[in-house]
Amino acid sequence: MTNAVLRVRAALSRAVRAGVREDMSREDGRRIRLQNALALLGIVMSCVGHFGTGRPLDPELLVHLLVTVGGLAAVFALHVRGRPRDAALAFHGTLMTSILMGSWTIGLDYGNFFLLILAAALPFLLFPTREQTAALGTALAASICLAVLVYGWDLDGDLARRVALYGPYQYLHQAMLVAVILLVGYGSRSFNALAEDDLELERAKSERLLRSVFPEEIGRRLQAGEQEIAERHGDASVLFCRVIGLDRPAEGQTSEAYLARLHSVIAAIDRRCAEFGAEKIKTTGTNFVAAAGLPVYRPDHAEVLVAMALALRDEFAATPGIAVRIGVNSGPVVAGVIGQVRPIYDLWGDTVNTAQRMEMHGTAGEVHVSPLTFAKINHRFECSGRESVEIKGKGAMKTYFVRGARKAGRSP
């Protein structure tokens, strides 16, 4: 029994989610699920109501049932084919057709014509905000059908009595009912549109914040719900940059002025990262870390970082009192997101440590690279070798200063 219930629940869940794709917005997915659920409910109610009439073999009632069930089943098929607008039109058209046919075959005493009130309000839920014309048109069509059915179509032979009893006021009452339906529906739609706009604005703010804190690819994965991100990149480059001259406020300089200058320097480095396509990893005091080749691989990662380093060197060479000391290294890197309250994207591994050593053992105003990076950029940049440098944890290492871009025609 339990397995049967689970299978039924799974089947209902699949039916309700028919046509919902991962790449669509939450609002569109919610609207499709609502339409599918209403269509499923309508099929069940139509079948139950058909047998509840006591005339299940009546040809007119059978045609009515087939039209209703067929039209509502088309809603699922249209959603699966990626046509939500047609699905909404099919649902609404089937609903009105079923009500009119029911009033014809059963009569007004059955009371199903009151469902036209629901049919006049539903379009504001079934159609997205961008489908304003379709929502208003279908709601107006349902309202007109209600007016015609109750006050213009003498199905029960009582129209003359109602006209004599209420006179022209019956049409005024019906017009007021239609107006209330349309106003309430349109008003709720307007409030819903405002809520969607606010939600979209907050979503955009959240996305901008993620992009400012994490690389775009990592931010997208976090937003999709991924919680643990840890990857090993077999080939990437890491840059360490130390801003010299801003370790502390100058004599007589206010804290505000010092922070403003530090902000302008870091902002300039951020702009260079965006210009060259490098990933900003973190800023600590006057130290800046960037990388290329991760989280998305690019074969020219070493060239990207060295080109950016030369641009930073030249930019700050013209700034009095400030210089940069830059180190670059290439190799395998472990990268991932750590922390829960204030998560950060960071790098680990020997490649990162050596890049930091390149900066520490470098010279102000110079771009200092390791042998691994030199091998990747020597075809494009002119470099000069140094005497062996004693690198902590590495021993003696021959390193290089990058002088600039290699001129055309000059081979390594």
Q: What is the reported pTM?
A: 0.56
Task: Please indicate, yes or no, whether residues 274 and 377 belong to a single structural domain of this protein.
Answer: yes
Return the ∠ at Cα 347 (arms to 344 and 351), rounded to 5°: 170
Q: Given this model, what pLDDT does residue 35 score?
A: 82
For residue 317, what is the domain's CATH number?
3.30.70.1230
Q: Are residues 247 and 380 in the same domain?
A: yes
Q: What string of DSSP letters covers 244-263?
A: ET-SSPPTT--HHHHHHHHH
Are 383 and 410 contacting, i.e. CB atoms less than 8 angstroms apart? Answer: no
Whether 236 is in a domain gets the answer yes
Count up the domains in the chain and report the number: 2
Identity at 23, one-letter amino acid code: D
**Two tokens at 44?**
């069940």
Beta-carbon contacts of 389 under 8 Å, excluding residues fewer than 6 positions away, are 361, 396, 397, 398, 399
d(Cα 167, Cα 370) in Å, to the nearest integer? 96
Query: Do residues 140 and 247 both lie within one domain?
Result: no
For residues 200 and 251, membership in a common domain is answered with: no
User: Residue 44: its pLDDT value, please?
Assistant: 87
Tokens of 217: 């690819």
Tokens of 177: 């009912």
Query: What's residue 46's pLDDT?
Result: 82
pLDDT tens per residue, the chain (412 residues)? Answer: 567 777 878 888 888 888 888 777 777 788 888 888 888 888 888 888 778 777 777 788 888 888 888 988 898 888 888 888 888 888 878 877 787 777 776 665 555 666 777 777 777 777 776 676 777 777 777 777 776 766 655 555 555 555 555 555 555 666 666 666 666 655 555 556 666 666 667 777 766 766 667 777 777 777 777 778 888 999 999 999 998 887 777 777 788 888 888 888 888 888 999 899 898 888 888 888 999 998 889 999 999 999 999 999 988 887 777 888 999 999 999 998 888 777 888 899 999 999 999 999 888 889 999 999 999 999 899 999 887 877 777 788 889 999 988 876 555 5
3-state helix, strand, coil in the chain (%, to 5): 60, 15, 25
Residue 61 contacts residue 53 (beta carbons within 8 Å): yes
Domain boundary (210, 244, 274) is at 210
pLDDT of residue 165: 57
What pLDDT is stored for residue 25 in this prediction? 74
Is position 349 within any domain? Answer: yes
The per-residue pLDDT for range 127-148, each reduced to its tens digit, is 776 676 777 777 777 777 776 7
Whether residues 167 and 254 share a domain: the answer is no
pLDDT of residue 285: 80
Q: Is residue 130 part of a domain?
A: yes
Does a structural domain hold residue 223?
no
The whole domain housing 357 covers 231-405
Local structure of 382: helix, strand or coil: strand
Same domain, 48 and 168: yes
